[in-house]
Amino acid sequence: MAVKTVAVLGAGAMGGGIAQVAAQSGYNVILNDVDIKFVNKAMERIDAFMQKGIEKGKFTPEQKEQVLGRINGTTDMNQFADADLVIEAIIEDLNVKKNAFKELDNICKPETIIATNTSSMSITVLANETQRPAQVVGMHFFNPPPIMRLVEIIRGYYTSDETVAIVADVAKSMRKSTIEVKKDYPGFVVNRLMLVQYLEAIRLVENGVATPEDVDAALKLGLNHPMGQFELQDFAGVDIGYHVLNYLYDEHKEAFWTPPQSLKSLINAGRFGRKTGAGWYDYKK
Ligand SMILES: NC(=O)c1ccc[n+]([C@@H]2O[C@H](COP(=O)([O-])OP(=O)(O)OC[C@H]3O[C@@H](n4cnc5c(N)ncnc54)[C@H](O)[C@@H]3O)[C@@H](O)[C@H]2O)c1
């Protein structure tokens, strides 16, 4: 199947970025959210990103107009009916995602592939909500999608080789590298690796061994990471990492994955990172 139209469900940090990458790669894009204000905000972010690119000589003004012109914003999921590929990027809540998959399955034509950008959750559990489990797959982009080069392609129990091949081709057409996650395994590859380091970073701080600033400096200057774990979590959303950690704990029931108390305190205080003005660090002036 040739993918021409990509529909993105959820116009948040990830959905907006995925819509941008798809439009930049020439796909017709439909971008849906529960409220049109979220879609409009995503369009503003894409506009601002590309405007900066124009100033740096990476895009022409015509390219920006083409990209924005390829994205149709809507709150009506029925417009997904003829999409070839749907990429779900709504909140990391299993019940909300399950309901969305059931609805998508009812709306989309039989050939449509339904991918999820979930950070951790079971592709198979989402596939079970549909009548097309072989066409359900994980397509895990990283934040921010226009910049990060990897897409994890995750097989659910029923995902067909054809589905994996099609979405890998789509990711490559978006100039992304892919890795195949061969099993539906909580947290997949990247987030498992990241959370091990994040947990250890938090433990170092909780045990009074080092400050968050010094742990981040150690990661950047000693291990050559572009960002420290605390900076990264503030950037990506402290709540997102917390959801993923809870999910891994629920799946494995191993004390190792228990969310640390200082992380819970941040969540209770609503300090979700840059998007709320504070997380591990303060951003308010
Ligand atoms: N933020 C990251 O660093 C990151 C990285 C990779 C993957 N992810 C995953 O991507 C997904 C989205 O994360 P995000 O950071 O973009 O979240 P976000 O909170 O920025 O955006 C989620 C959007 O989905 C919308 N939404 C919720 N329910 C909806 C529904 N039923 N229909 C349509 N829209 C709906 C919300 O209104 C919101 O605009 C999550 O599964 C997350 O785990 C996040």
Helices (H) and strands (E) in the chain, counts: 11, 8
* 246 classed as catalytic: no
Residue 215 · residue 228 · CB < 8 Å: yes
pLDDT over 80 at 217, yes or no: yes
Model's pTM, two decimal places?
A: 0.93
| Nearest Cα residue to 268 out of 282, 279, 253 | 279
Question: What are the residues facing 9 on neighbouring strands?
Answer: 32, 88
Backbone angles phi, psi at 180, to 5 degrees: -100, 125
Q: What is the ipTM of this complex?
A: 0.98
My answer on whether omega of the bond before 144 falls inside 30° of 0, hence cis, is yes
| pLDDT-based confidence at residue 161 (cuts at 50, 70, 90) | very high
Ligand 1 center–CA 47 separation, angstroms: 20
In whole angstroms, give the CA distance from residue 226 to residue 221.
Answer: 9
pLDDT tens column, 47-77: 999 999 999 999 999 999 999 999 999 999 9
191-276 folds as: N-(1-d-carboxylethyl)-l-norvaline Dehydrogenase; domain 2 (1.10.1040)
pLDDT tens column, 82-126: 999 999 999 988 999 999 999 999 999 999 999 999 988 999 999
Q: What is the pLDDT of residue 284?
A: 82
Q: What is the pLDDT of residue 1?
A: 82
| Nearest Cα residue to 66 out of 24, 3, 7, 21 | 24
pLDDT over 80 at 285, yes or no: no
* 44 classed as catalytic: no
In whole angstroms, give the CA distance from residue 248 to residue 209.
Answer: 26
Q: What is the pLDDT of residue 281?
A: 98
Q: What is the pLDDT of residue 200?
A: 98
81 assigned ligand-binding residue = no
In whole angstroms, give the CA distance from residue 110 to residue 130.
Answer: 11
pLDDT tens column, 169-216: 999 999 999 999 999 999 999 999 999 999 999 999 999 999 999 999
Tell me if 116 CB under 6 Å of ligand 1: no
Q: What is the pLDDT of residue 120?
A: 86
Ligand 1 center–CA 51 separation, angstroms: 24
Sheet with 28-32, strands from edge to edge, namely 71-74, 28-32, 5-9, 85-88, 113-116, 136-140, 150-155, 177-181
pLDDT tens column, 218-252: 999 999 999 999 999 999 999 989 999 999 999 99
5-181 folds as: Rossmann fold (3.40.50)
Tell me if 245 CB under 6 Å of ligand 1: no
In whole angstroms, give the CA distance from residue 146 to residue 144.
Answer: 6
- Beta strands (DSSP E) in the chain are 5-9, 28-32, 71-74, 85-88, 113-116, 136-140, 150-155, 177-181
Tell me if 136 CB under 6 Å of ligand 1: no
Q: What is the mean pLDDT of residues 254-265?
A: 97
Ligand 1 center–CA 115 separation, angstroms: 14
Q: Which helix (H) or strand (E) holds 106?
A: helix 94-107
Q: What are the structural domain ranges in the chain?
A: 5-181, 191-276
Distance of CA 161 to the CA centre of its chain: 23
Question: What are the residues facing 28 on neighbouring strands?
Answer: 5
Tell me if 143 CB under 6 Å of ligand 1: yes
11 assigned ligand-binding residue = yes
Q: What is the pLDDT of residue 214?
A: 98
Which two tokens mark 117? 């950008």
Residue 14 alpha carbon, nearest atom of ligand 1:
16
Ligand 1 center–CA 252 separation, angstroms: 24
| Nearest Cα residue to 23 out of 138, 108, 145 | 145
CA distances from 254 to 155, 199, 205, 273 (A): 24, 13, 22, 27
